Amino acid sequence: MVIAGAALAFIQAARGQGGSGLSPHVASGVAPLAGVAASFADFPGPAVGAAASFADFAGPPVGPATPGALVVGAAAASDLRANAIPAGVSVSSLGAVPSTCRGSSSQAQAPAPSASAAIRRTPGLTAMRHDSNRSRASAMASPAMPPVPTLVEIIAAKRDGAPGNPADVARLVAALMSGELADYQMAAWLMAVFFRGLSDPETVAMTEAMLRSGRVLDLSRVRGLKVDKHSTGGVGDKVSVTLAPLVAACGVPVPMVCGRGLGHTGGTVDKLEAIPGFRAQLDAAEFAAIVERVGCCMIGQTAEIAPADKRIYALRDVTATVESIPLIVASILSKKLAEGIDALVLDVKVGRGAFMKEVSAARTLAKALVRVGSRAGKKVVALLTDMEAPLGVAVGNAIETAEALDVLAGGGPPDLVACTLALGAEMLVLGGKAGGVGAARALLAQAIASGRAARVAEQMIEAQGGDPRVVADRRRLAVAEEELVIEAARDGYVDRVDALAIGLAAVAMGAGRSRADQPVDHGVGIYVEKKPGDAVRASEPLARLRVRSGAAALPIAERVREAFAIADTAPPLRPLVLDRIDDRSSTAAPGSG
């Protein structure tokens, strides 16, 4: 009864007085809120009032959201290495809560109350006065000090849009990890953040609280500025495999914690584990030792790194709150900053194969990442790079690793080489090894031509238990033997290669996973032989599939065929790098409640 009542109360509240229906943003969040509301019934005291507390969302003080608060259409999603927005979701920065989320005009102008005022006003939370935190705080507080809000009051304050307090955010994260705050209470706060947003100081506080929940790696013995790179994920994105040893060969240490593939985007750990014997799960001491000795090390996330993020993301995943920009920012940065780095270069992918489909949305995320990372004391630069079509030719695991190693040998597809050099140049500048990107590119090219980058890759692979011979002999990477060829139906020009369709086809083949607990087949994959703008003749190969069973893969081959569009004229080509964001081009966002 409480579940149904809470969901109904929220629906009525979201419509507002005189509202005509739910906005898409709110409608997608109603189902998870029903479960959250049910959990409120576990509190002692009048349980019926718990559902009623959500109904007060319709009354005062609902008003305009603070400018800069980000509201995104919710959809159940999986994180790609920690945070991928699924295909079809767009992000918009809204100046106010949608009209279907507001009450009457008189209510909309009401000032945001304090947390304590919110508690007094909310019938369902009046019963929470038994909270022991409140009793202890009231007993200890001097008359001149404001009372310390309870955890429930902090949740209510965010729900009602009251000005946020960074200390309260840090306190919630600590309380979750200590057991003082229940999962259902954190879920309620996450939903409030989804609609109300976080200010930059609050996001910094959440980032630091999550990274401090585990071990912050000590790389003080490693000389020089430590720089990492993070990609928001795409199809055929194997840049990290090339980039870490290449940048390390130029004298900048690269400690890199990588993710596994989830959904249509591949994962660096899966690509590295295609190398025979390679170990991606190392403890912190071994990780630091390899960075010090070799100059780079690439591992998967461990239980020691930002455990609060892992727990909070699990709640976001089942409460449709993944697509909140402040929560994405905190999740990404908490893991990256826990590596002990001094600077970070971000590759924010844009297009069909990325979770950000539009440049404006990707720019919003990039600016937030740069702002918050800078406020956390790190040097951060973000590049927006194109992901309408797959990056490079190979899409899979072993075949992507081979292509990444081709770049270190002086080869590789032009777009992959260009993306690697653009990101690597930014890393060398942040690491103090070059005064500008032009000089940095020259250093990277020299490291490839001299063979230094390939030697560092061999040393890293050997240090992590892998077969270093794969660097020089990529045939040692096991690839499925059967091949299906997709041919062009007519002459013309490739107008489109749908990166999302190619990525999903690779998942269907077994190269990726739709659940975090699924294994991957390192040997299968897709070679995208023709890219947008390429001329093609009838019967010429568009793609080649490496599969375990040709007959079983025929339906997948048809999906790959449909990913290509051929036109009579060549399309205009999109630039690879769409924008660059640094701490000067990232303007401060107004705080949100």
What would the pLDDT profile of 522-573 be if each residue is shown by its tens digit?
999 999 999 999 999 999 999 999 999 999 999 999 999 999 999 999 999 8
Q: What is the pLDDT of residue 127?
A: 34
Percentage of residues of the chain with pLDDT beyond 70: 74
Q: Is 331 tagged catalytic?
A: yes
Query: Residue 334: pLDDT above 60?
Result: yes
Answer whether 0.95 is exceeded by the pTM: no
In this structure, what DSSP letter does residue 416 have?
A: H
Q: What is the pLDDT of residue 550?
A: 92
Are 49 and 123 in contact by the 8 Å Cβ rule? The answer is: yes
Q: Of these residues, 316, 357, 371, 546, which one is catalytic?
A: 316
Query: Residue 309: pLDDT above 90?
Result: yes
Q: Residues, the chain, total?
A: 593
- Give the other-Cβ count within 10 Å of 531's Cβ: 17
Q: Of these residues, 331, 334, 586, 592, which one is catalytic?
A: 331
* Phi, psi (degrees; rounded to nearest 5) at 364: -60, -45
Tell me the CATH number of domain 227-301+344-475, given options 2.60.40.1730, 3.40.50.80, 3.40.1030.10, 3.10.20.30. Answer: 3.40.1030.10
- Give the other-Cβ count within 10 Å of 450's Cβ: 11
In this structure, what DSSP letter does residue 56 have?
A: G
In this structure, what DSSP letter does residue 579 have?
A: E
Q: Of these residues, 230, 264, 378, 546, which one is catalytic?
A: 230
Distance, in Å, from the CA atom of 91 to the CA atom of 327, rounded to the nearest integer, reads 14
Percentage of residues of the chain with pLDDT beyond 90: 64
SS3 378: coil
192-227 tens-digit pLDDT: 999 999 999 999 999 999 999 998 888 999 999 999
Task: Supply 524's token pair.
Answer: 């299968």
Are 229 and 344 in contact by the 8 Å Cβ rule? The answer is: yes
Give me the DSSP letters along 186-213: HHHHHHHHHHH---HHHHHHHHHHHHHT
Q: At what angle do helices 452-463 and 437-450 cross, to 10 degrees?
A: 70
Q: Of these residues, 212, 238, 260, 335, which one is catalytic?
A: 335
Q: Of these residues, 56, 270, 309, 406, which one is catalytic?
A: 309
Task: Supply 170's token pair.
Answer: 């840090």
pLDDT bucket at 119, cuts 50 / 70 / 90? very low
Q: What is the pLDDT of residue 143?
A: 53
Q: Among the listed ranges 48-57, 186-195, 245-254, 446-455, which one has the minimum average pLDDT value? A: 48-57
Tell me the CATH number of domain 479-567, given options 2.130.10.10, 3.90.1170.30, 2.60.40.3080, 3.40.50.1110. Answer: 3.90.1170.30
Are 28 and 75 in contact by the 8 Å Cβ rule? The answer is: yes
pLDDT, average across residues 229-247: 96
Summary mean pLDDT of the chain: 80
* Phi, psi (degrees; rounded to nearest 5) at 94: -110, 140
Q: Is 309 tagged catalytic?
A: yes
In Å, the largest CA–CA distance within the chain is 84
Higher pLDDT, 291 or 64: 291
Closest to 183 measured CA to CA, from 367, 295, 61, 42 = 42
Are 436 and 402 in contact by the 8 Å Cβ rule? The answer is: no
Q: Is 130 tagged catalytic?
A: no
pLDDT, average across residues 482-509: 96
- The sign of the dihedral angle between the CA atoms of 113, 117, 118, 122 is negative
Distance, in Å, from the CA atom of 269 to the CA atom of 289, rounded to the nearest integer, reads 19
Query: Residue 265: pLDDT above 90?
Result: no
74-110 tens-digit pLDDT: 333 333 333 433 343 333 333 333 333 333 333 334 4
Question: For the chain, which residues make up each domain, given as ranges?
Answer: 227-301+344-475, 479-567
Of these ranges, 114-118, 127-131, 287-291, 581-585, the one predicted with the greatest mean pLDDT is 287-291
